[in-house]
Amino acid sequence: MPATTFAPARPVPPNKALVVASVLLWALTGLSLAVIGFFVLMIGVWGMAAGEDVTRPLLQVAAIVVGAALVGALLYVAPGVRRLSREARLTLLGALACPAPLVLAAHLMTL
């Protein structure tokens, strides 16, 4: 029997382009969610101050955000995505998570 030596695997350095793209996409997503949160808060406060029922618009916004989060969570555990490197996975999920809050924030700003 030949004697073989096993060496520990060397860690692979992260792909800097993917890291930068991931950070930018998730920062844009976070900023969009902050804008949405501000508008939801202001709509709620103004609606309550005016005595209006603001349940429907607030539930629509919440449904869109929760739906996008659910799709992202389901995609994160998909077998094809789990095989990707960490940087590629975060960049892919950031690219898919970014449009929904960004469009919703732009829509709320133009109301």
Give per-residue pLDDT as tens, 77-109: 899 898 898 899 999 999 988 888 899 889 988
User: pTM to 2 decimals?
Assistant: 0.76
Q: Is the pLDDT of residue 51 over 80?
A: yes
Give me the DSSP letters along the chain: ------PPPPPPPP-HHHHHHHHHHHHHHHHHHHHHHHHHHHHHHHHHHHT---HHHHHHHHHHHHHHHHHHHHHHT-HHHHTS-HHHHHHHHHHHHSHHHHHHHHHHHT-
Q: Is the pLDDT of residue 54 over 60?
A: yes
Give per-residue pLDDT as tens, 2-36: 666 777 778 888 899 999 999 999 999 999 999 98
Who's near 105: CB < 8 A, 6+ residues apart?
Answer: 32, 33, 35, 36, 39
